[in-house]
Structure 1
Amino acid sequence: MRNILLIAFSLVLFTSCSNDDSVDYVKRNDNDIQAYITANNLTAEKSSTGLYYVIDNPGTGVQPTTTDNVTVAYKGYFLNGTVFDESNENGITFNLQQVIKGWT
């Protein structure tokens, strides 16, 4: 009985872990983002980390380094146009070492 349960569990485990390698989600997401950019007539740029961004009001002064504190005003959107996060109108200040790669 114990062996039957072990075999049954193994079958469930292996059949439920099927891997569909035929879908390239990175490419599909990139295509969706490109379509959004085109449909909304944006001039977005893509960083080396894959983050798409638009600079509405470029800052002035010296380019920050990866260890600097910066103040930015931002708004993040899902592809359906829903805002998922944004700073207040005065922006937010943070150290570039404490954020995701896309910010640096």
Structure 2
Amino acid sequence: MRKLIFSFIVLALFVSSCGEKQVVTQAQLDQLAIEEYLTDNNLDAQSTTSGLYYIIIAAGSTERPASDASITVAYVGKLLNGTVFDQSTTFTGDLNDMISGWKEGIPFIGAGGKIKLLIPSALGYGGQSTGKIPANSVLLFDVTLHSFINP
């Protein structure tokens, strides 16, 4: 009798799990797109727990910008397909007013440093379109940190 009850429970669990659909999240799609980009371009990147990927090209000075620093940078922003959506040779702003991917990634370098950021959509503009950037886009930034002022 115990075997019969155990078999019935196992069968019930098996049948109930067969009907479940596997849900793929936007974060998983972004991670796959980033990993494919890195592989296709033979790049070796570090990643953070938030899903940000980065490559430090040049570390710059040893002092790092604080999360609320005023920064001056040069950058090129692209989609993974290579479409440039924004660029500047001299942009100044407060780091705490930037997208989350910049807030997290820029402090990895000091003044004079260069970094490549691969930013999942949740750390960029998420599900909203803005300008030339479609909703749920992974963003690629090449950034040179010219200078910063910590408060």
Please report the TM-score for the alignment, with normalisation by the length of structure 2. 0.46
Where in structure 2 are the equivalents of 1:1-104 lying within 5 Å? 22-88=23-89, 91-104=90-103
Q: What is the CA distance between 1:27 and its match in structure 2? A: 0.8
* Runs of 4 or more above 3 Å deviation: none
In 2, Cα distance between the equivalents of 1:75 and 1:43? 20
Contact in 2 for aligned 1:70/1:96 (Cα 8 Å): yes
Structure number with greater CO (CA < 8 Å, separation at least 6) is: 2
Change (3 A) 1:49 1:85: farther
Q: Extract unaligned runs of 5+ from structure 2.
A: 1-20, 104-151
Task: Indicate the SS of the match to 1:43.
Answer: coil
Change (3 A) 1:73 1:56: farther
Q: What is the CA distance between 1:45 and its match in structure 2? A: 2.8
Once the two structures are superposed, what CA deviation does each residue of 1:59-92 show, in whole Å capped at 9, x if it has no partner? 214111112111222222212122222222xx32
Q: Extract unaligned runs of 5+ from structure 1.
A: 1-19
Please report the TM-score for the alignment, with normalisation by the length of structure 1. 0.63
What is the percent sequence identity of the aligned residues?
A: 40
In 2, Cα distance between the equivalents of 1:83 and 1:54? 19
Number of aligned positions between the proteins: 83
Q: Please state which structure has a larger fraction of its residues in strand.
A: 2
